[in-house]
């Protein structure tokens, strides 16, 4: 702008000394700064919000991975059947939601060792010769599950442990446990079930196996970064019996196609999706092996101890990597274990009331003055045991369990017909009169608190010195004073008369001063000899509905939640138990007896 | 517009000796004054607009901050609770309309944690080992209700720092590590 003074000059070019441009520039700058500040603040807010959304979605994806792993593991260990035998399986899933995310799951077996003497054993299938290359074989202790959820550039890892009791064989993919004999010795194994599980020298696969779309990973566990989207068509129907090599489904992508064939003979239990599109590793079929062995008992399985893994404790954040990730995570989990156990009494606490209204920090601190008494693994088990509820029950089944479950002490195989006098006497001495309508069971404790009643009954015989001793003695009735010989002395109502020396011709022999009388089945018996003894096959079973669980398996299941005791699979794979052909089949229907069950 | 130089304008003779320049130099034309007035009014209007916008932005930002904070606190609380193993307080609700103002639970590692509001209206979480975490400020209300052994519903009501508006966030969480308890009450 030209000023007035400049215009009045002598014709020279007017000087430009105004400040308007400066003012405008300043204004624009200020406006720009404000606008930028607003945008920056707004974008920061949006960025924070989105970051939290991504974190949440990644965590949900990790949870989804844990759920998917549990779903698969309930059916069997698919990786023990088809993948490399290193006890590690992995799969990926795309969570196709409003906010796309993915999850990468790695399952890693841990094993227990079972020592078994080599030799010939009689079983219901005949005499078999059993050997183990190194004097033991492996069973599955539990499965460590590492689930890493990813959303955008945010990852979250969750660790969990899938525990199973009784333990299945480690080789093969079965998740159905083999029941142990109940005298607590690991070298005494229920050979009949073991033989059934590994009959004809071949390890069975999973009892039930999910058949998935072609894997994202190769046989060495290396994966592609890109997910493949397959178009597929299932070629079998539920109920079909399939032979080895029979086509199960046809799948194709834009660049390849394949036909999936059955690895083993089996029966199609379920077609999850008949046709359509799906990603790699997505299950489409559920097949049960035709030669799979199903344990006579119920196997307890559950995913427990879900633990968030902080970023700094996840190693390189790739659970496929044993040395730089899984071992780091396991070390972190182990570091938590001592506190987890020692504070475990907290799950039995309840606060009846807390003060209402705001609390000052000191007042809040005083809430914790009543410290939880530290617990050991044994105490953890002792307290959890009576309140055990089987995993996997629906709400209605849980109520049914609470009302109808019972604990029974059963001889296996159960006696047929009337009980023997020994049984009558034993029962009468410890548990009262023999129930006439339950001749097959030596004892039955009903709800409510069936397990607690059982524990009370054998409290004086339970060994509390160690976890293993507790499990052994609290779940079996193996020690007691048994009446070995007795003499029938007439109906119970005549007892006073008998004791009153009016029955036998030889009062001295019939009624010694320290004579002990027992009544059983409405009859009186004079005890002639008795001694402390051990009674085999005397485990307590938990029975509800159609299911029957050995109490020892319940105790082991709870002990596994308390602490991890499994060992990592050796590079050579699991140790197997080798079973030769039958030598001399036992007669059909012959009861299982002999050293196989009693040693 | 181009102006002619003033000395070329015809003036009366007795006025030619006067130093005309000095008088005129200090003046402004009406047009210029109007332009200045316009400019200043525009600047003032712009400034006042900016200032009022800034105030509105600040207010909205604070509201956003409050909203973000309550969302974060809900997320953090959900994360702690999801991995929890046991609820110690409140008891299972018999009256579904009653909300408790404190939560005591055991985390994934069986460590007890207490949620409460302090006198400064901050929602805090104190652990048994002594660690203290502030989850939210300016909390008007923290309500918690336990529907069964392992399912809780909570709500947090937060007021914006310099305003009267408030926000409520509510969520229900299932404790994933809680072991089912033997049902004491058989229906």
Nearest to A288 by CA among A229, A207, A358, A372: A207
* Residue A599 banded pLDDT, cuts 50, 70, 90: very low
pLDDT of amino acid A420: 60
Question: DSSP letter string over B77-111?
Answer: HHHHHHT--EEEESPBPSSTT--BS-EEEE-TTS-
Q: How far apart (Å, rounded) are the C-alpha atoms in residues A54 and B41?
A: 48
Q: How far apart (Å, rounded) are the C-alpha atoms in residues A524 and A424?
A: 11
Task: Name every chain B residue with its beta carbon within 8 A of the beta carbon of A339.
Answer: 109-111
Check pLDDT > 50 for residue A186.
Answer: no
Q: Do A365 and B108 touch (CB under 8 A)?
A: no
Check pLDDT > 60 for residue A512.
Answer: no
Find the CB nearest A340 among B53, B71, B109: B109
Check pLDDT > 80 for residue B137.
Answer: yes
Distance of CA A303 to the CA centre of its chain: 5
Q: How far apart (Å, rounded) are the C-alpha atoms in residues A263 and A247?
A: 10
Give Cα separations from A435 to A440, A443, A522, A544, B146 (angstroms). 10, 9, 11, 20, 44
- Residue A191 burial class via C-beta count within 10 angstroms: exposed 0-12, middle 13-18, buried 19 and up: buried
* Residue A119 banded pLDDT, cuts 50, 70, 90: confident
Lowest mean pLDDT among A47-51, A309-313, B138-142: A47-51
Task: Name every chain A residue with its beta carbon within 8 A of the beta carbon of B58.
Answer: none
Nearest to A108 by CA among A137, A132, A84, A136: A84
Q: How far apart (Å, rounded) are the C-alpha atoms in residues A156 and A306?
A: 13
Assessment of whether the complete model's pTM goes beyond 0.80: no
Chain A nearest-CA residue for B56: A38
Instruction: Pick the most confident of A82-91, A134-143, A583-592.
Output: A134-143
Q: How far apart (Å, rounded) are the C-alpha atoms in residues B7 and A18?
A: 24
Using a CB cutoff of 8 Å and minimum separation of 24, what contacts does A23-31 make?
A23/B39, A23/B43, A27/B43, A27/B46, A30/B50, A31/B46, A31/B50
Q: What is the mean pLDDT of residues A492-519?
A: 51
Interacting residues of A199 by C-beta distance below 8 A, sequence separation 6+? A125, A291, A293, A579
Task: Name every chain B residue with its beta carbon within 8 A of the beta carbon of A356.
Answer: 101
Q: How far apart (Å, rounded) are the C-alpha atoms in residues A123 and A121?
A: 6
Lowest mean pLDDT among A79-83, A100-104, A391-395, A595-599: A595-599
Q: How far apart (Å, rounded) are the C-alpha atoms in residues A287 and A301?
A: 19
pLDDT in tens, A428-461: 655 555 544 433 345 678 888 888 888 887 777 7
Task: Name every chain A residue with its beta carbon within 8 A of the beta carbon of B6.
Answer: 7-8
Nearest to A282 by CA among A272, A291, A292, A290: A272
Q: How far apart (Å, rounded) are the C-alpha atoms in residues A144 and A565?
A: 12
Other Cβ atoms within 10 Å of B35 Cβ, number: 14
Q: How far apart (Å, rounded) are the C-alpha atoms in residues A352 and A344?
A: 19
Task: Name every chain B residue with its beta carbon within 8 A of the beta carbon of A52.
Answer: 71-72, 75
Q: How far apart (Å, rounded) are the C-alpha atoms in residues A206 and A76?
A: 5
Residue holding tokens 């700094």?
A312
pLDDT of amino acid A256: 81
Check pLDDT > 80 for residue A294.
Answer: no
* Angstroms from B33 CA to nearest CA on chain A: 11
Q: Is A537 left (phi over 0), alpha (psi -120 to 50) or beta?
A: left
Omega before A296 within 30 of 0, i.e. cis: no
Give φ, ψ of A43 to 5 degrees.
-70, -35
Q: What is the mean pLDDT of residues B95-104?
A: 86
Let me know: does A511 contact A375? Beta carbons within 8 Å: no
Check pLDDT > 90 for residue A67.
Answer: yes
Residue holding tokens 């030596």?
A442
Q: What is the ipTM of this complex?
A: 0.72
pLDDT of amino acid A225: 52
Find the CB nearest A359 among B21, B79, B116: B116
Q: Do B61 and A23 touch (CB under 8 A)?
A: no
Q: What are B116's two structure tokens?
A: 């409460």
Q: Do B91 and A352 touch (CB under 8 A)?
A: yes
Q: How far apart (Å, rounded) are the C-alpha atoms in residues A280 and A227?
A: 7
Lowest mean pLDDT among A515-519, A579-583, B20-24: B20-24
pLDDT of amino acid A530: 60
Q: Is beta strand A126-131 parallel, antiparallel or unpaired with respect to A208-212? A: unpaired
Instruction: Pick the most confident of A56-70, A130-144, A397-411, B147-161.
Output: A56-70
pLDDT in tens, A7-34: 444 555 555 556 677 777 887 888 788 7
Check pLDDT > 90 for residue A235.
Answer: yes
Interface test with B, best of A62, A358, A560 (most B CBs within 10 A): A358
Check pLDDT > 50 for residue A590.
Answer: no
Q: What are A458's two structure tokens?
A: 């054998």
Q: Do B89 and A350 touch (CB under 8 A)?
A: yes
Chain A nearest-CA residue for B64: A45
Q: What are B146's two structure tokens?
A: 């336990």
Q: Do B46 and A27 touch (CB under 8 A)?
A: yes
- How many CA atoms lie within 13 Å of A490's alpha carbon, on the beta-carbon side? 12
Q: How far apart (Å, rounded) are the C-alpha atoms in residues A240 and A225?
A: 36
Alpha helices in chain B (DSSP H): 20-25, 30-82
Q: What are A548's two structure tokens?
A: 């029957």
Q: How far apart (Å, rounded) are the C-alpha atoms in residues B75 and A54?
A: 12
What strands, in cross-sheet order, belong to the sheet with B132-136? B86-89, B103-106, B112-117, B123-127, B132-136
Check pLDDT > 70 for residue A487.
Answer: no
Could you give the 3-state DSSP secondary structure of residue B44?
Answer: helix
Chain A nearest-CA residue for B3: A7
**DSSP bridge pairs for A307:** A159
Q: What does the mean pLDDT of chain A come to?
A: 75
* Residue B92 banded pLDDT, cuts 50, 70, 90: confident
**A12-37: b or e for each residue (b if 16 or more CB lie within 10 Å)?**
eeeeeeeeeeeeeeebeeeeeeeeee
pLDDT of amino acid A201: 39
* Angstroms from B96 CA to nearest CA on chain A: 17
* Residue A149 banded pLDDT, cuts 50, 70, 90: very high
Give φ, ψ of A395 to 5 degrees.
-55, -40
Q: Do A368 and B112 touch (CB under 8 A)?
A: yes
pLDDT of amino acid A578: 78
Check pLDDT > 90 for residue A306.
Answer: yes
Distance of CA A73 to the CA centre of its chain: 9
**DSSP bridge pairs for B103:** B115
pLDDT of amino acid A217: 61
pLDDT of amino acid A424: 62
Interface test with B, best of A3, A60, A62, A368 (most B CBs within 10 A): A368
pLDDT of amino acid B104: 92
């Amino acid at each position: 702008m030209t000023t007035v003074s400049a215009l009045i000059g002598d014709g020279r070019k007017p000087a430009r000394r105004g400040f308007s441009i400066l003012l405008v520039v300043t204004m624009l700058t200020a406006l720009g700064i404000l606008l930028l500040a607003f945008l920056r603040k707004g974008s920061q807010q949006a960025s924070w919000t989105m970051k939290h959304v991504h974190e949440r979605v990644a965590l949900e994806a990790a949870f989804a991975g844990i759920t998917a792993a549990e779903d698969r593991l309930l059916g069997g260990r698919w990786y023990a059947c088809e993948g490399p035998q290193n006890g590690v399986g992995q799969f990926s899933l795309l969570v196709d939601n409003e906010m796309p995310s993915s999850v990468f799951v790695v399952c890693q077996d841990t094993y227990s060792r079972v020592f078994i003497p080599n030799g010939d054993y009689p079983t219901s299938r005949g005499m078999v010769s059993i050997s183990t290359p190194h004097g033991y074989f492996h069973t599955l202790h539990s499965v460590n599950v590492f689930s890493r959820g990813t959303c955008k550039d945010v990852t979250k890892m969750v660790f969990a442990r899938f525990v199973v009791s009784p333990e299945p064989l480690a080789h093969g993919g079965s998740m159905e446990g083999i029941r142990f004999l109940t005298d607590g010795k690991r070298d005494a194994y229920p050979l009949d079930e073991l033989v059934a599980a590994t009959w004809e020298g071949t390890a069975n696969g999973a009892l039930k196996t999910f058949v998935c779309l072609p894997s994202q990973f190769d046989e060495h566990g290396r994966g592609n970064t890109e997910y493949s989207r397959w178009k597929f068509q299932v070629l079998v129907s539920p109920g079909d019996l399939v032979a080895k090599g029979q086509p199960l489904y046809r799948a194709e992508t834009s660049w390849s196609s394949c036909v999936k064939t059955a690895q083993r003979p089996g029966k199609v239990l379920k077609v999850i999706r008949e046709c359509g599109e799906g990603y790699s590793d997505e299950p489409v079929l559920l097949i049960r092996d035709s030669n799979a062995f199903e344990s006579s008992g119920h196997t307890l399985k559950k995913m427990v101890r879900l633990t968030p893994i902080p970023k700094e404790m996840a190693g390189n954040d790739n659970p496929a990597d044993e040395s730089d990730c899984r071992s780091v995570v396991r070390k972190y989990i182990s570091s938590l274990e001592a506190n987890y156990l020692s504070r475990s009494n907290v799950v039995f606490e309840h606060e009846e009331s807390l003060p209402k209204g705001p609390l000052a920090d000191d007042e809040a601190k005083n809430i914790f003055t009543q410290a939880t008494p530290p617990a050991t693994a044994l105490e953890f088990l002792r307290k959890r045991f009576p309140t055990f509820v089987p995993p996997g029950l629906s709400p209605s089944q849980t109520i049914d369990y609470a009302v109808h479950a019972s604990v029974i002490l059963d001889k296996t195989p159960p006696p047929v017909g009337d009980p023997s006098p020994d049984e009558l006497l034993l029962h009468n001495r410890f548990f009262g009169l023999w129930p006439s309508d339950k001749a097959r069971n030596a004892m039955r404790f009903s709800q409510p608190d069936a397990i607690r009643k059982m524990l009370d009954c054998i409290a004086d015989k339970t060994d509390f010195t160690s976890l293993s001793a507790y499990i052994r003695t609290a779940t079996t009735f193996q020690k007691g004073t048994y009446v070995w010989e007795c003499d029938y002395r007439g109906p119970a109502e005549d007892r006073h008369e008998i004791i009153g020396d009016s029955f036998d011709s030889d009062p001295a022999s019939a009624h010694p001063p320290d004579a002990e009388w027992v009544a059983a089945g409405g009859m009186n018996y004079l005890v002639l000899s008795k001694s402390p003894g051990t009674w085999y096959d005397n485990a307590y079973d938990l029975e509800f509905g159609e299911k029957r669980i050995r109490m020892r398996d319940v105790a082991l299941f709870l002990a596994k939640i308390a602490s991890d005791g499994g060992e990592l699979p050796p590079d050579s794979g699991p140790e197997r138990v080798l079973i030769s052909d039958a030598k001399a089949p036992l007669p059909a229907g012959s009861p299982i007896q002999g050293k196989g069950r009693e040693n | 517009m181009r102006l002619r130089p003033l000395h070329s304008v015809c003036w009366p003779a007795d006025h030619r000796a006067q130093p005309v320049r000095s008088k005129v130099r200090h003046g402004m034309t009406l047009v210029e004054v109007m332009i200045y007035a316009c400019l200043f009014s525009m600047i003032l209007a712009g400034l006042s607009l900016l200032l009022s916008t800034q105030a509105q932005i600040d207010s909205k930002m604070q509201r956003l901050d409050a909203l973000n904070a309550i969302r974060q606190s809900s997320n953090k609380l959900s994360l702690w609770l999801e991995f929890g193993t046991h609820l110690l307080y409140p008891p299972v609700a018999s009256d579904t309309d009653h909300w408790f103002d404190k939560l005591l639970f055991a985390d994934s590692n069986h460590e007890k944690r207490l949620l409460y509001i302090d006198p400064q209206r901050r929602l805090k979480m104190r652990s048994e080992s002594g660690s203290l975490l502030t989850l939210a400020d300016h909390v008007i209300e923290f309500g918690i209700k336990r529907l069964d052994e392992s399912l809780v519903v909570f709500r947090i009501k937060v007021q914006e720092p310099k305003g009267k508006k408030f926000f409520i966030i509510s969520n229900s969480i299932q404790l994933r590590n809680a072991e089912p308890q033997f049902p004491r009450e058989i229906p």
